[in-house]
């Protein structure tokens, strides 16, 4: 399991977020071109609680990709047959050669929502946990490369987002009774989530935990992790330290008063004033 949360992004400004995201998305397009040319197969899994930002993150990352060569998989409620043949339900959606596939929730739903809500039997859950890594290894041998993201949010943030969603005339329909029941089962979900991390994180496909309390930062971290995972042609990922001008970490004293937590722009303005003062 990997906690991936770059400190350089902790206080990034909106302007620098847009600039940084653009640079990284350009690199993602390069990566896709390499995937197509080299006939690679990449499956990017997104898991997380309701309102963690899975759909939004996938949308942000995939916006400029060549449509014919990527896919987004978001399956609904399984049929009884699909529930009995869980792995087969997802196997047919894994990437073909030269393709990237994003899973907006995945086969790991069995290890999280399904078992928490009682949608699967204990026997089905146990079978899944005992065989999922073997199943993934079978496809890894066929060239599929898995990246497994878990978007992590705290309870107050989730409640705030669900409240905004329920109050919105545009997206109120996204809230279901099951969503509210899941909130009530927060601790049980946490128990199964930790079991999933402990038992299904492998060397070739570890779980990557992204702090999604700030969705924009989660987008950037996801992009960076994907890009650092592959040696694609023309790779030129900018260093996050170049964003230091967008961080609120500057301090200056003017006329005996110390100003802290300044952006670079604020710092430059006050620095000019201090020079005039001298």
Greater model confidence, 172 or 10? 172
pLDDT at 170 over 90: yes
Q: Could you give the 3-state DSSP secondary structure of residue 243?
A: helix
Which residues are within 8 A (CB) of 139 and not within 5 positions of it... i.e. 6 or more apart?
91, 94, 146
Average pLDDT of the chain is 91
Q: What's the pLDDT score for residue 132?
A: 98
How would residue 8 be classed by pLDDT, with cut points 50, 70 and 90? confident
How high is the pLDDT of residue 278? 47
Which of 120-134, 154-168, 264-278 is least confident?
Answer: 264-278
Name the percent of the chain in helix, strand, coil, to the closest 5: 55, 15, 30
| Residue 98 confidence (pLDDT) | 98
User: What pLDDT does 235 receive?
Assistant: 96
Per-residue model confidence (pLDDT) at position 274: 60
What is the fold of 2-243? Rossmann fold (3.40.50)
**What was the pLDDT predicted at 264?**
52
3-state class of 44 per DSSP? strand
Tokens of 202: 């492998």
pLDDT at 146: 98
248 pLDDT band, cuts 50/70/90, is low
Radius of gyration for the alpha carbons in the chain, expressed in angstroms and rounded? 22
Q: Which residue has the higher pLDDT, 62 or 10?
A: 62
**180 token code pair:** 């509210």
For 136-160, what is each residue's pLDDT tens digit? 999 999 999 999 999 999 999 999 9
Boundaries of every domain in the chain = 2-243, 248-277
* SS3 state of residue 236: coil
pLDDT over threshold 50, residue 23 = yes
One DSSP character per residue, 166-223 reads HH-TTTGGG--HHHHHHHHTHHHHHHHHHHHHHHH--SSS-EEEEE-SSHHHHHHHHH
pLDDT per residue as tens digits for the range 100-129: 999 999 999 999 999 999 999 999 999 999
Quick one: pLDDT at residue 262?
A: 67
């Amino acid at each position: 399991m990997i906690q991936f949360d770059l400190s350089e992004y902790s206080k990034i400004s909106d302007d620098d977020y847009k600039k940084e995201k653009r640079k990284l998305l350009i690199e993602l397009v390069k990566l896709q071109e390499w995937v197509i040319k080299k006939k690679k197969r990449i499956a990017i899994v997104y898991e997380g609680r309701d309102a963690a930002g899975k759909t939004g993150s996938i949308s942000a990352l995939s916006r400029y990709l060549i449509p014919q060569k990527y896919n987004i998989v978001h399956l609904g409620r399984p049929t009884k047959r699909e529930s009995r043949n869980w792995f087969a339900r997802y196997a047919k959606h894994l990437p073909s050669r030269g393709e990237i596939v994003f899973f907006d929730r995945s086969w790991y739903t069995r290890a999280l929502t399904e078992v928490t809500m009682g949608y699967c039997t204990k026997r089905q859950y146990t079978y899944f946990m005992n065989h999922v890594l073997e199943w993934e290894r079978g496809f890894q041998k066929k060239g599929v490369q898995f990246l497994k993201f878990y978007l992590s949010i705290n309870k107050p943030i989730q409640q705030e987002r669900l409240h905004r969603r329920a109050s919105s005339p545009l997206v109120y329909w996204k809230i279901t009774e099951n969503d509210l029941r899941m909130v009530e089962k927060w601790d049980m979900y946490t128990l199964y989530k930790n079991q999933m991390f402990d038992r299904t994180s492998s060397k070739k496909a570890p779980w990557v935990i992204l702090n999604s309390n700030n969705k924009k930062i989660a987008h950037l971290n996801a992009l960076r992790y994907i890009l650092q995972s592959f040696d694609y042609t023309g790779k030129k990922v900018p260093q996050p330290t170049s964003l230091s001008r967008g961080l609120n970490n500057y301090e200056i004293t003017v006329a005996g008063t110390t100003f802290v937590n300044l952006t670079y722009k604020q710092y430059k303005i006050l620095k000019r004033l201090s020079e005039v003062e001298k």
